[in-house]
Amino acid sequence: MYAQLVETGIKRLKNLDEMAPQERAFQEKIDAEIKIEAKNWMPEAYRQTLIRQISQHAHSEIVGMLPEGNWITRAPTLKRKLQLMAKVQDEAGHGLYLYSAMETLGADRDEEIARLHAGKAKYSSIFNYPTLTWADMGVVGWLVDGAAIVNQVVLQRTSYGPYARAMVRICKEESFHQRQGYELLLTLMREGNDAQQAMVQDAINRFWWPSLMMFGPSDADSPNSAQSMAWKIKRQSNDELRQRFIDQTVPQLELLGCTAPDPDLKWNEERGHYDFGAIQWEEFYQVLKGNGPCNRERLETRRVAYEDGAWVREAVVAYARKQQQRHTAA
Ligand code: 3HC
């Protein structure tokens, strides 16, 4: 796949014999599957690519708390409320984990969060869609976290050590997120009335295509993939992971007794994969530009939460300083 990306001329990559000795030694470590650690020499472009990707990943986790957070107070049972609270808390932890991994590269957490609040940083497009009904909570767990798992399981093998290790714990918790979402939908489909079953199908209709967009643009339109794959930051391409997600999700869709809003979705025996319809990339790029249904609302909510939480951060820093002084004085 990576060779095709390079052939398409997205980015002509340097060969080993074109590299300076230090960069060549670095690439040979990458090729030998030796993890790169924070203290190791790395090309500045490798470091910047990781800061870009990990900061966006962390932002996605934090903004990703919002669509579900809206439903904690409206969960239909105590069990569902507890599940949703646990999931939202997990996402907060994933965000903090990833900001810490980002900081090992010398990036400043406050600066990156300020860029997010100023609308200058990306986060996953999927979180700019509204969660209108309770069935959306199931679909977000099943499709959104399901897509995130496909992407993140592969990231456990990314070449940068702190990022790969952060993924191991995050993937374990994501599996719970995906299962609780799917179980919620099975309950609605098997025990719910017609209106509740229709609510599930409506949620799938709204989230199906935006979930496929989570994997990024098609390989031919991905400016970062070729280099990220040469550095083994990205181990599989956007299209490969999107296809894997579709192939594993369609049988689950059928078990629910639901359909996807894609008349072209059908099994292709020859390919051994599902064929699917054209993604509306114009919508994707509009969301990336900030013109999605909820972009402004999500960023405003994050800005207000960050300001409201300033006193907590100040108290924690003051306490840590006091502890440090006591430790130094002892
Ligand atoms: N939403 C927003 N921006 C996206 C995007 C998406 N779904 N897909 C791609 N983009 C952006 C890229 O960031 C890049 O922009 P940039 O150069 O300005 O940063 C541009 O579109 C071109 O895309 P590329 O494919 O060339 O970029 P990458 O090589 O970075 O690949 C990616 C994109 C596959 C998302 C990769 O960055 C990645 O794997 N990131 C880590 C995983 C991640 O961030 N997942 C987001 C969801 S996390 C989540 O859902 C948490 C769960 O618990 C709810």
Per-residue pLDDT at 9: 44
Does an H or E element contain 113, and which? helix 109-117
Pocket test for ligand 1, best of 46, 60, 94, 239 (most atoms within 8 A of CB): 60
Pocket test for ligand 1, best of 1, 46, 53, 243 (most atoms within 8 A of CB): 53
Residue 22 alpha carbon to ligand 1 centre in Å: 29
Per-residue pLDDT at 4: 53
Backbone CA torsion sign across 304, 309, 314, 317: negative
Is the Cβ–Cβ distance between 276 and 242 less than 8 Å?
no
- How many whole angstroms separate alpha carbon 260 and alpha carbon 60? 25
Per-residue pLDDT at 16: 86
Is the Cβ–Cβ distance between 138 and 204 less than 8 Å?
no
Pocket of ligand 1 (CB under 6 A): 52-53, 56-57, 60-61, 64, 91, 94, 122, 124-125, 144-145, 148, 151, 174, 213-217, 222-225, 228, 234, 238, 288
Ligand 1: which atom is nearest the Cα of residue 90? 53
Per-residue pLDDT at 14: 81
pLDDT tens digit string along 69-120? 989 999 999 999 999 999 999 999 999 999 999 999 999 999 999 999 999 9
How many C-beta atoms lie closer than 10 Å to residue 62's C-beta? 22
Per-residue pLDDT at 8: 47
- How many whole angstroms separate alpha carbon 276 and alpha carbon 172? 29
Residue 96 alpha carbon to ligand 1 centre in Å: 18
pLDDT tens digit string along 238-273? 999 999 999 999 999 999 999 999 999 999 999 999
Per-residue pLDDT at 12: 53
* Overall pTM > 0.85: yes
What does each C-alpha distance from 174 to 59, 69, 251 come to in angstroms? 16, 16, 20
Per-residue pLDDT at 170: 95
Per-residue pLDDT at 129: 98
Amino acid at 172: K
| Mean pLDDT by groups of 10 residues along the chain of 330 residues | 48 79 94 97 96 98 95 97 97 97 98 96 98 98 97 97 96 94 98 98 98 97 94 97 98 98 98 98 98 97 96 95 92
Tell me the β-bridge partners of 274.
Answer: 267
